[in-house]
């Protein structure tokens, strides 16, 4: 099962996957798959550091292939998630440290909007 899930991540059809989305694709590939086996495979891969969990602000857990820190932008219409290259918050982080006294080690930021495809469809 871990191999099947790994293949889905390697296919990169999406930038970030929820367990539901992974389960759907794995079911399509294998004919049938247990939700709990998909969940277990994801847990193992996360522990290995092959993927990591990200929060896109809708309360669901998403997973992406582990890479450098970056922000995300999500389409409000179709839900497609893309990577925003680099970190746009370096300056903001030092501002937050100064104003709160906290040592800031992480942040989660998701831009919302319309992906190019949906923006085009809407303007028609
Ligand atoms: Zn869209
Ligand atoms: Zn990402």
Ligand (nearest to CA of 74):
1
Ligand (nearest to CA of 64):
2
pLDDT at 83 over 80: yes
Listed in order, the ranges of the chain carrying CATH 1.10.10.10 are 1-67
Distance 114 CA to ligand 1 centre (A): 5
pLDDT at 102 over 90: yes
User: What is the arithmetic mean of pLDDT over 8-19?
Assistant: 93
Ligand (nearest to CA of 9):
2
pLDDT digits (tens, 9 = 90+) for 32-61: 999 999 999 999 999 999 999 998 888 899
Q: Model pTM?
A: 0.81
The superfamily in CATH containing domain 68-124 is Ferric-uptake regulator, C-terminal dimerisarion domain (3.30.1490.190)
What is the secondary structure of 70-119 as a DSSP string? -EEEEETTT--EEEESS-S-HHHHHHHHHHH---------EEEE--HHHH
Question: What fold, for 1-67?
Answer: Arc Repressor Mutant, subunit A (1.10.10)
């Amino acid at each position: 099962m871990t191999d099947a899930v790994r293949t889905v991540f390697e296919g990169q059809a999406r930038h970030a996957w929820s367990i539901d989305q992974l389960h759907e694709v794995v079911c399509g590939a294998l004919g049938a798959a247990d939700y709990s086996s998909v969940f277990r495979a994801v847990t193992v891969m996360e522990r290995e550091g092959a993927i990591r969990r990200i929060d896109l602000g809708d309360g669901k857990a998403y997973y992406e292939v582990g890479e450098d820190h970056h922000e995300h932008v999500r389409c409000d219409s179709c839900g497609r998630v893309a990577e925003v290259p680099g970190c746009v918050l370096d300056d903001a982080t030092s501002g937050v440290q100064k104003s709160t006294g906290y040592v800031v080690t992480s942040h989660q930021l998701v831009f919302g909007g319309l992906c190019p495809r949906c923006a085009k469809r809407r303007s028609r």
